[in-house]
Chains A and B, each alone.
Chain A
Amino acid sequence: MELERREFVKLAAMSAAVGAASSMNAGKACAAPVDPPPAPDRPDIPGVQWDKAPCRFCGVGCHVQVGVKDGKVAAIAGDRQADVNKGLLCVKGYHVGMILYGEDRLTTPMVKRNGKLEPATWDEAIDVVARRIMKSGKKFGMYISGQSTVPEGYAAQKLVKGALANNHIEANARLCMASAVTGFLSTYGVDEPASCYDDLDACDTLIMWGNNPAEMHPVLFSRVVDRIARGEKIEIIDIGTRRTRTTDQADHYLEMRPHGDLAIANCLMQQLIENDTYDKAFVEKHCNFRADQDPRETAEALMDHDAYVAHVAKKGHSGLFGKPITFAQFKKLVSYYTPEKTEQLAGVPAEQLRMLAKVFADPKRRIVSMWCMGMNQHTAGTAVNNLVHGVHLLSGHWGRPGDGPQSLTGQPSACGTVREVGTLAHALPGGRLVAKQPHRAFCEKAWKLPAGHMNPKPGYHTVKMFEQLCTPTDAGGDIDTVWVQVTNPGQSLPNTKKLYKAKADLPDKFLIVSEVYPTASTELADVVLPAAMWVEKNGVYGNSERRTQQWFKMVDPPGDARDDCWQTLAVARRLFELGHPGLRGTDGKWLFTIEDENGDEIEYWKWENYYKINVDKHLFDEYRQFTFMKHKNVAPYDVLVKVRGLRWPVVETADGEFRETRWRFVEGDDVYVEKGRGFQFYHSTSKDDRAQVWFRPHHQPAELPDERHDFMLTTGRVLEHWHTGTMTMRIPQLRRAMPGAYVEMNPDDARERGISNGEVVAITTPRGEMRLPVWTNGRATPQRGHLFIPFFDESAQINDLTLDAIDPFSKQPDYKKSAAKVTRISEFAPPRQGGNP
């Protein structure tokens, strides 16, 4: 212990001495583990003050205890009081404190003058930004993040959609969650999972749909591995295109072709109906059937699969909510997807499909389906989300503990800040839509804007916004300014050369980037605003299971760095001073006015006053009124202060307590379900309290391998790094463990081409070329003809090569399927005679 103590202090780093005891060693059914000693709640280190915060990284939303000493984060421990992680953290979480202390933190505002970024004062920088926004008018776009806090998102939303009456505000969650959102909306009429993580403690079968939680949601996956280690029988079924560390734990691995998921889900429904094993009572009471078009509108009463597909191809789809179809029509359409047919389409043996259908046919089994980017970054993302919900609805595996579909997020507040606050071009807070007049009217009233002030036309979605930014003005590029906060689009957008880097050649376009480190995004910025991060500011996040989590500022940001939320509000104040009419409310006051008890305005837009009040609390409690309409009631700020998050809807009980909801639409747990109903989908799109079971046909990916590009390239994350690596690559332990990108290849493909492990090859897609070492015996093995490249590495930005095709409903890009070619360098350029290789 002495040695460890010293190590701690020396590294000013992360304690791991705590946590995990509950989940360790519990009779692991394998090579005798060492029994760890029981861990204390948090280590007792002299002079260290502890407080709670959610982890800064992934959507699991673990809680950490943050130890602060001498104004610096000095230790991190898993929070044993947190339901999500019960004291455990993953390798990223244990090191999270060090994200604050990279050597190259941005500490001074920079403004471009004569083509060069130069230091500026905050007053100058804020003024430049405000004047640019004034000038830009409807050509201004704001691009925030699923890592922005709820108050940050709310303030940006109110500024852009409210004050500026400009709907061009988007968040990077468009790139990761949008298809889950459209999937939920078109199935249940309201966004976000009905289930929660508790299901993982109760399921008998866990099905992964293109998901690798062992690396991407490690703490969540450990909940299941723990149960297996304790001797419980849980069947893990992995459906994917590559064998991963998750597959290592699986009982069955169904290796599919890209877009095979569409056929597989249809096949499960075909089998359930054909074998008469679907849940008739559940379907009769709680489901409707839906498709893109209703064949009853034509002469043909029942169309077969091919006729229907041709019909829709001719007529187009009828919008996100589709048209009702009959069960008979549904049955006819899915009957096409026999196991044999599906084997042809998806590449999964018919036998395995029958096995999976039997799992769903068993009414007693409790089944959780889990997915994340595999199903969302998909040009049929909405469709496949619908289908997996459909399989659970049709089989009645829905709404019991351990029994239901569970969509995961990749970012810590994709749900809280983007989906709930509605920081997407078409949305308003609390599930409202810009296109709906009553919804705008509600916002106008709440924000003290004149009636009719807000713009009814949705703004540009992310890909469109950046496309317009990168298109010359005289060629119709009608976005000329984008303000980026808390995200790194220069590396994370698909096809970045087209959608971001092309801005470099357009001098009349303007980028404002609020950041903590130099990134691919700040490289092209005209203004760089140094930002505070994580526990350098107050915050509220909302994780994948509807859990809203609050934390307080614990340390000061370095140098002149300041909160993103303050930056937004300071610009909003400057716009008001410059006379922008949108910033003046109907009461004549600034839209973001906060008054003290005497009714005097608090000048909190001045940085020295910002933390004299809790701005987060004011914004959050103001935002709270928006959450009731769609029954997404968040708890008051002061209640969240006391807990490790609460899952909405949070309802006030008779004795003034606030109670969270674990399972939505389920009688007994969700108070909005009427007595005796069992289940009630009270936001149903068909207004009859039913969920929609969709028919969505299989179709091919947007880009397929051909003779020139004979591989299918997928991208993704790795365990050690979070997204573009701007934070985790600055943590020495994580950088050492995973220092750079590589290309994963099936060993047989490598052998056939004479490529050896470690050889540097050229990867080419129709968008460009990149050189990377091959890893054939790494963490995962792609199927034949497939490649995998992680996107964290700044020095190998694979999104320069990815495709920017999007889902028609969610507008989410498909990063997972780009056609690619592998060339040995020796084939390309013969080595120079006598020179160095």
Chain B
Amino acid sequence: MKEPLWKTLTPGSVILEPGSSAKFKTGSWRSMRPRWIEENCIQCLFCWIYCPDMSVIVEDGKRKDFNYDYCKGCGICALECPGKKGNKAIVMEKEGG
């Protein structure tokens, strides 16, 4: 007989697999979506510092596009983005809109 599911759980709901939260794609909660406008970007990396998740991808010191798997659309990056001469490099848009 198959063991019931509740008997197979880790005691105390401890998670023994490090880094497993990467499997939890929290981006599905998003109702607003940040859009990167590359020509206005001065590569200050404020967005990378301020993003509370890991949704701003930086490679070789350069900002790349968003990783939408974890972006919750909080808009902090858009708020903090200085942009170029007053033109924001991040704008928030309605998800699926």
Partners in one complex: no
Which residues of B come within 8 Å of A, CB atoms? none
Which residues of A come within 8 Å of B, CB atoms? none
